[in-house]
Amino acid sequence: MSQSLHLVSRSPHFTFSALSSAHKASLLASLCRIPASSSFSCNGVLSLTASISDSSSPRVVVSDNGSGSVRAAAAVADSAASAAIEVDAVTEVELKENGFRSTRRTKLVCTIGPATCGSEQLEALAVGGMNVARINMCHGTREWHKRVIERVRKLNEEKGYAVAIMMDTEGSEIHMGDLGGASSAKAEDGEIWTFSVRAFDSALPEYTINVNYEGFAEDVKVGDELLVDGGMVRFEVIEKIGPDVKCLCTDPGLLLPRANLTFWRDGSLVRERNAMLPTISSKDWLDIDFGISEKVDFIAISFVKSAEVLNHLKSYIAARSPHGGISVIAKIESIDSLKNLEEIVLASDGAMVARGDLGAQIPLEQVPSAQQKIVQVCRQLNKPVIVASQLLESMIEYPTPTRAEVADVSEAVRQRADALMLSGESAMGQYPEKALAVLRSVSVRIEKWWREEKCHEAMVLPPVGSSFSDSISEEICISAAKMANNLGVDALFVYTHSGHMASLLSRCRPDCPIFAFTTTPSVRRRLNLQWGLIPFRLSFSDDMENNLNKTFSLLKARGMIKSGDLVIAVSDMLQSIQVMNVP
């Protein structure tokens, strides 16, 4: 087995040569896993190769690399072929307007509902920075969701956006029915409501709520507290009559269709047989089949309890969608998911801090520390993480967020979550675009603050690779990100087929943006969820020299980079780090 690490400079102003030779040696040693005592010279053009073989000790070879070749080849490359590179039209404008450094790193997910399902509204969200459109199978029909998917795809094709689609399953939670078509109902203090598992043929009787869980009437006891949406409205169980449960409203509020229900006894959440319900219900399986046939990019699974269900789902998807293309997101929103957090995150392709239901299952004051823990575990295990629910809840009704909401969004950005998500704000609120604009501006501002203050704590990133080759990729990315920060480069370039190398770079949360080049449209869309990645679709070969020439000329033709920009390139074909100025 032979692996090589490659370090190449072509610029006479190569920043690397300004480092002390001890620093160079230790930097290279850390790249090559060789003793830091090895010495070498590097003036101007440098190429360093460390060959690691099974039996012998590592060798380091330093050689001249012929600096003229890049420029000559770049001249040959066809600048008219700029169409051969695809990047999200909105990001392209942002990059040109704000420069590399100021592009947004935190990704934005919008739940699509009645307020945003039209093409014009979807386009306004795409222009406003939506990276992922989420459809929640808890609401609406499959036909309704199919039309949304088609509209998003059409916009991507016609307008050059790269919005990914996330389908979120309903899951086996206990929730209320549809309120007989009403958009909401008000429960007042002292009123008596009936929660029933009966199926009503005609209109719902007054003060009656349908419950979707068969075992409901048997599982609750007189005296239990019934919480709607984690406490937005509260009832006390006063009487059980067959399938009907009579409840007294103790905290008034608005009942919304399909609102989640939990019941509490002596201050603890009651988890009777409902805890035994399958994570993926039969309805969810049909929705998953729908998601696979619609080729959605992400499937988010509600109320995940263990890794087992994710492994099962992943083999199910792999059998039906052999070329891959669908990532599985585990929603952390139950006590069980917190208990089994690491195994769940490991088995997933990403996670969501689903604070809505999580806050109904654990005391509210525990949600912030749970969020921090989940974000941290995901980053350590190299999985993208979304912070979701109530980020800008007041903006469902008002055009301006509260100061507390802005502080909450800032905290998620400061924790360097990969993505933030809007739910009701974009699905059924009055100001979806304004809410998205708040997420965008707060993200950009806090990211800038964080870079200025350099207050990024050095998080220990444990090894995640399962093979030696994986470990080399990981070390390369950690070193490249560190070099990018130390040298103040303009961008990191990564050439990646599967996207893995790009996510390893993203995990390091470097100061500069990461241009991720990939050959597959679906990989490109999925990279859209990850922190700091600007995904491009580009055909490339195993020849890095060629790839770089091609990329430079295409990006220059588009006005996205210019001569003299300093970039660091890594790739998963040739495990290498190259530092260079754009010719």
Ligand X SMILES: C=C(OP(=O)(O)O)C(=O)O
Ligand Y SMILES: Nc1ncnc2c1ncn2[C@@H]1O[C@H](COP(=O)(O)OP(=O)(O)O)[C@@H](O)[C@H]1O
Using the rule CB under 6 A, give the single segment among 66-74, 282-290, 351-359, 573-581 that binds ligand X.
Answer: 351-359
Q: How far is the CB of 562 from K ion (least distance, A)?
A: 45
Q: How far is the CB of 93 from K ion (least distance, A)?
A: 33
Subset of residues 61 to 80 that bind ligand X, contact rule: CB under 6 A: none
Q: Tell me the C-alpha distance between 423 and 409, whole Å.
A: 14
Task: Give 136 or 581: the residue with its C-beta nearer to K ion.
Answer: 136
Nearest to 571 by CA among 507, 477, 487, 466: 477
Q: Amino acid identity, residue 570?
A: V
Task: Give 356 or 499: the residue with its C-beta nearer to ligand X.
Answer: 356
Task: Give 302 or 549: the residue with its C-beta nearer to K ion.
Answer: 302
Q: How far is the CB of 171 from ligand X (least distance, A)?
A: 7
Q: Where are the alpha helices (DSSP H) in 130-281?
A: 142-159, 216-219
544-557 helix and 68-76 helix, angle to the nearest 10 degrees:
60
Q: Tell me the C-alpha distance between 262 and 335, whole Å.
A: 13
Count of residues for the chain?
583
Tokens linked to 337:
């998911």
Using the rule CB under 6 A, give the single segment among 138-146, 267-275, 455-463, 532-540 that binds ligand Y.
Answer: 138-146
**Cα 416 to chain center, whole Å?**
11
Residue nearest to ligand X (CB): 356
Subset of residues 309 to 348 that bind Mg ion, contact rule: CB under 5 A: 333
Subset of residues 352 to 411 that bind ligand Y, contact rule: CB under 6 A: 356
Task: Give 19 or 174: the residue with its C-beta nearer to ligand X.
Answer: 174
Phi-psi region of 55 (alpha: psi -120 to 50; beta: other; left: phi over 0): alpha
Q: Tell me the C-alpha distance between 86 and 105, whole Å.
A: 19
CB atoms within 10 A of CB 123: 19
CA–CA distances in Å: residue 275 to residues 69, 176, 195, 471 = 64, 17, 20, 39
Instruction: Work out whether 302 is an interface residue with ligand X (CB under 6 A).
Output: yes
CA–CA distances in Å: residue 147 to residues 127, 450, 548 = 20, 40, 40
Instruction: Work out whether 354 is an interface residue with ligand X (CB under 6 A).
Output: yes
Task: Give 392 or 582: the residue with its C-beta nearer to ligand X.
Answer: 392
Q: How far is the CB of 256 from ligand Y (least distance, A)?
A: 5
Number of residues that bind K ion (CB under 5 A): 4
The site partner of 355 among ligand X, Mg ion, K ion, none (C-beta below 5 to 8 Å per kind) is ligand X
Subset of residues 298 to 327 that bind K ion, contact rule: CB under 5 A: 302
CB atoms within 10 A of CB 457: 5
Tokens linked to 483:
């070099």
Instruction: Work out whether 150 is an interface residue with ligand Y (CB under 6 A).
Output: no
The site partner of 111 among ligand Y, Mg ion, K ion, none (C-beta below 5 to 8 Å per kind) is ligand Y
Nearest to 494 by CA among 582, 568, 581: 568
* E strands present in 440-555: 491-495, 514-518, 533-537
Q: How far is the CB of 357 from ligand Y (least distance, A)?
A: 7
Subset of residues 169 to 228 that bind ligand Y, contact rule: CB under 6 A: none
Instruction: Work out whether 168 is an interface residue with K ion (CB under 5 A).
Output: yes
Nearest to 504 by CA among 379, 405, 398, 419: 379
Instruction: Work out whether 111 is an interface residue with K ion (CB under 5 A).
Output: no
Site mask for Mg ion (CB under 5 A), range 356-375, x = bound: xx------------------
CA–CA distances in Å: residue 217 to residues 21, 242, 270 = 75, 7, 13
Subset of residues 53 to 72 that bind ligand Y, contact rule: CB under 6 A: none
Tokens linked to 237:
């169980």
Out of 27, 351, 354, 385, the only residue in the binding site for Mg ion (CB under 5 A) is: 354
Q: Where do contacts with ligand Y occur on this chain (CB under 6 A)? A: 111, 113-114, 136, 138-140, 256, 258, 356, 423-424, 427-428
Q: Using CB under 5 A as the criterion, which residues of the chain lie in contact with K ion when the complex forms?
A: 136, 138, 168, 302
Using CB under 6 A as the criterion, which residues of the chain lie in contact with ligand X when the complex forms? Answer: 136, 138, 168, 302, 331, 333, 354-357, 388-389, 423
